[in-house]
Amino acid sequence: MIPVQGFEGAKVAVLGLGRSGLAAAAALKAGGAEPVLWDDSPEARAKAEAAGFTCADLTRQGAFDGIACLITSPGIPHLYPRPNPVIAAAMAAGVPVDNDIGLFFRSWATEAWDDFDIAPRTICVTGSNGKSTTTALIHHILQHAGRPTQMAGNIGRGVLDIDPAVEGEVVVLELSSYQTDLARALTPDIAVFTNLSPDHLDRHAGMGGYFAAKRRLFAEGGPDRAVIGVDEPEGVYLANQIAMGREDDRLIRVSAARKLGDYGWSVFARKGFLAEWRKGRQVASIDLRAITGLPGAHNHQNACAAYAAVRSLGLAPKLIEEAFHSFGGLPHRSQTVAEKRGVRFVNDSKATNVDSAAKALEAFTNIRWIVGGMGKEGGVAALKSSLGAVKKAYFIGHSARDFALELAPLEHEICETMEVAVARASAEAEAGDTVLLAPAAASFDQYPNFEKRGDHFTQLVQALPD
């Protein structure tokens, strides 16, 4: 746990008692603050009180009298589409509003660091797609290199739930737009921006607000080094905002679409090869094509971003390449779960929208595609340009027939359930085929979340005969 600094003896309100809220309350208490908790759910309040915390109704008149700060969970709106009433009341009362990310950055460094020869570092990763894989890959490379490291944030543990730093440690944080938007302190040593595509637009009142939330990670405190994906206009703009000129190597540009050899420092992937260029010359290259845990151009972008981040710490290219080969990938993200009779089975249940499904479809050949669920606004017609490798589609879930109509004349079968789809796809698959779960839809018609959907697919595949 990271005891929160700066609130000793003060009352601090905590709104939202999920994982991050309870961790924040415990860290505040450990730092000498008096946390006062609230959640609309009686069950959540009962759980907090059972853990020894005090709950008080923050919706009542005068609830913020004597409160030094309000800490809110990332999922609770503070501005758009409309502020939560408790947050609005805190702001009206002049009470600062923050989140656990802000508390982390104000509390991470301690006097104990004065005795360290090598100061701890933080690497923060944000973006629309690939940030979980990039974060996990950075963490994996550091572990492979024998560096002390912890991973937290939007993946794994809450940021205040990690252990205090040891000498030379690197903490790797995945940060969502919800987390970066409100944090009052954002001071990473290395900040990574993967890419940007439409998401959470109601929460940020459009793409401009969404990008602005991501940009705060680079603008509020200013990282020592920035790793920026420049395959979208927003990344190009952000890189231009940071760099003082073409040779400024505080910025590492990253691309999975084109060569970037004319800058001070760049890392890019073309035709399955990662290349690092510095001051106009290539200094390293890695063949990514045979790395099972990083299939497809979207994962090659993740590999470039992770490579750039750890190169900033001085790790050697050969060591990074070794770590790439031992990276198994994240569950539910282009994860190979089995190979049977020459057929590869891939779980990409996290591909819940058109953009992520397209990337999955472009990563493999000879695809038997399991697709469907609770369709999202806009449908899936935009995927027609990504169907070149699909031999047949097996539609499941609520939107099965709608998807079939939108993607006509694609060869297909209406299967309704995962059980039928896996059975039919595996029965028809030939050696060299890939049975790919990339739903392009939410899971809520048949599963509580995409993880349960991916787990079910994996269980069914593993039960198939070898």
User: Residues annotated as binding site for ATP?
Assistant: 127-133
Determine the distance from the C-alpha atom of residue 1 to the mean position of all C-alpha atoms in its chain, rounded to a whole number.
22
**DSSP state, residue 442:** B
List of residues 6+ apart from 380 with CB closer than 8 A: 354, 357, 371, 403, 406, 407, 440, 441
Q: Do residues 259 and 324 lie in contact, with contact meaning Cβ atoms separated by under 8 Å?
A: no
Alpha-carbon distance of 441 to 365, in angstroms, equals 21
List of residues 6+ apart from 233 with CB closer than 8 A: none
Hey, what are 45's tokens?
A: 């309040």
Binding residues: 127-133
Per-residue b/e over 138-165, b at no fewer than 16 CB within 10 Å? bbbbbebbebbbbbbbbbbebbbbbeeb
Hey, what are 137's tokens?
A: 């890959």
- CA gyration radius, the chain: 23
Alpha-carbon distance of 466 to 18, in angstroms, equals 42
How distant, in Å, are the alpha carbons of 131, 141, 352 from that of 137? 10, 6, 22
